[in-house]
Chain A
């Protein structure tokens, strides 16, 4: 017997007695990992003629790709949109999400003044995941080019237009090299050229926090937009004569082969289960589960001063003190996966892919992330049949194990 490492290759792991999620199915198959990548066992057997260095019995767990959260605002009391908190916040959250099965994410920065973007964005560098923390796929800048009325919790006075086209965008953000995606309201003037400029730079454009009608949404997609930020939230509701942005899920006015993806906060609070089911029934392959989690996430119950607001955390809910107003989502992505599977009856395959494969496809990185295909990064999680995360691996290294 010649183990891989004895033949001059890396240490080869064979995860066995497991079921793996591949090509939309959970199949009984071993997972082979070497040098942080998923390996093709037939090549190992017939071409390299090597054995595993180590076989790991997975106790019949499910192995799925590591989860990817493209919208997360902070946690542990740290807010990614606050300059003084961003570095510590990234550090803490990128480790905290291991327990949720998240192996990479897009830190989200909400509407901020230009001088703040220029300080915060350079601090959030893209990086591969490791024991130090989940991978950072790039910042999701949500705002400031959004609609006044649909601004939600974004500060009103900082909302802007791009009347001078992309130059206004550059003036606000400064350097875009750390940005992976942007949410904008497509009804603004100059939107087609702005979207095209983002696309040229490889930045994904999402429509959201918007008053747009369907025609404006379709125009944005034709210009290159490919995502809808937290569907149903902060947009005009579905109406049968103008379905608004929700109508993009069934539009026949989009270029062929262009898939529109959309974020869903399936935390049981921000999107009604019936709305989850509607979205699932009409456009399952576009679903991207997101948490939109705020800085109070991962904190124990208590009362916390955040800037000018005082937030009360109680279980999975957060309120502005002395009101019934929700302060934002405290969801964890694995909770969202479980809830989505339960509420829609979609099965574990789709629920898991909606938080792994789909966000990777949306970001254009599905050749490396979001799948267990050969040559992909070995970012994966083990789950029981109820989809509870038992362990999390990044680049083949175990970074979390449930107690």
Chain B
């Protein structure tokens, strides 16, 4: 496990985007050799998406031979609802880049057979050869995707009922009308993400500091589902300074000492 600490949110965004770019370019994807990328939604990754779009626009990165798999989507909200993860991905990423629509996979929360949709998603990941790099964010309670506290750490893609707190917190996005707020979501499981060759978790802001502490300084615990990635052989936790507020000084010092090494990962292969 690596912990990469950057000064600010913008630095985190840039580092994450550079890392994704590095990984894609080093893979040298082509028509018979697609790079597979797992993607999150939410406010944390927006800056990273912006940077990736800039790389595409300046010609230094193409998504032509990239397949993407999104972590989750609400059940039964219109695909074009502004709060849907389809809308999020379209507006923040897909509409700006050259990805082939056939290669952008998002769970369909309006599928007639939701379980079938989840199983098919796992199948699509498998057929694509698994995920090379899965990027995730976490909630203040340490959940990854919709694997809320208490979720199984070997779970696969499935239908999840949302916690009452999540539903209440989401009401503000739906005109404060609780009847409009989705109560279920489709989500990849912790096990689905664990299967990726590499995982990068973005954590920014002081309100995520306790979650970061739980994620890396204590044992694996299904009440803090992101802690499972301590056991993943290639996981990077990427955070800003405020997110380190709850970490031990020793932890921070140790990982800052490794920054030179971490930054080498962004450099071009010789």
By a beta-carbon cutoff of 8 Å, the part of chain A in contact with chain B is 1-2, 30, 40-51
When the two chains form their complex, are residues A42 and B101 in contact, meaning their CB atoms are under 8 A apart?
no
Of the candidates A44, A46, A49, the one having the most CB atoms from chain B within 10 angstroms of its own CB is: A46
Scan B61-97; emit 1 where CB is below 8 A from any A CB, else 0: 0001000000000000001100000110010001100
Give chain A nearest CB distance to B194 CB in angstroms. Answer: 28
When the two chains form their complex, are residues B95 and A46 in contact, meaning their CB atoms are under 8 A apart?
no
13 A-B contact pairs sorted by A residue (CB < 8 Å): A1-B64, A1-B100, A30-B95, A40-B80, A42-B79, A42-B86, A44-B101, A45-B94, A45-B95, A46-B101, A48-B101, A51-B100, A51-B101
- Given A30-B95, A41-B95, the answer on whether A46 and B102 have CB atoms closer than 8 Å is no
Nearest 4 CB-CB pairs, A to B?
A49-B101, A45-B101, A49-B102, A1-B100
In the bound assembly, the distance between CA atoms of A46 and B111 in angstroms comes to: 13
- Given A30-B95, A42-B79, the answer on whether A50 and B101 have CB atoms closer than 8 Å is yes
Query: How many inter-chain contacts with C-beta < 8 Å in the A-B complex?
Result: 34
Give chain A nearest CB distance to B245 CB in angstroms. Answer: 37
- Given A42-B79, A42-B80, A46-B79, the answer on whether A2 and B90 have CB atoms closer than 8 Å is no
Give chain B nearest CB distance to A7 CB in angstroms. Answer: 10
Beyond the given A42-B86, A45-B90, please list 4 additional residue pairs across the A-B interface where CB-CB is below 8 A: A42-B87, A45-B101, A46-B90, A46-B104
Q: Is residue B106 within 8 Å, beta carbon to beta carbon, of the partner chain?
A: yes
Give chain B nearest CB distance to A13 CB in angstroms. Answer: 16
In the bound assembly, the distance between CA atoms of A50 and B104 in angstroms comes to: 12
Scan B30-69; emit 1 where CB is below 8 A from any A CB, else 0: 0000000000000000000000000000000000100000
When the two chains form their complex, are residues A42 and B100 in contact, meaning their CB atoms are under 8 A apart?
no
Give chain B nearest CB distance to A44 CB in angstroms. Answer: 7
* Residue in chain A with minimal CB distance to B91: A42
In the bound assembly, the distance between CA atoms of A50 and B30 in angstroms comes to: 20
Residues 94 to 148 of chain B near chain A (Cβ within 8 Å)? 94-95, 100-102, 104, 106
Q: What residues on A are CB-neighbors of B102 within 8 Å?
A: 2, 49
Q: What residues on B are CB-neighbors of A41 within 8 Å?
A: 90, 95
Q: What residues on B are CB-neighbors of A42 within 8 Å?
A: 79-80, 86-87, 90
When the two chains form their complex, are residues B104 and A45 in contact, meaning their CB atoms are under 8 A apart?
yes
Give chain B nearest CB distance to A258 CB in angstroms. Answer: 27
In the bound assembly, the distance between CA atoms of A46 and B89 in angstroms comes to: 11
Q: What residues on A are CB-neighbors of B86 within 8 Å?
A: 42, 46
* Residue in chain A with minimal CB distance to B104: A45
In the bound assembly, the distance between CA atoms of A43 and B94 in angstroms comes to: 13
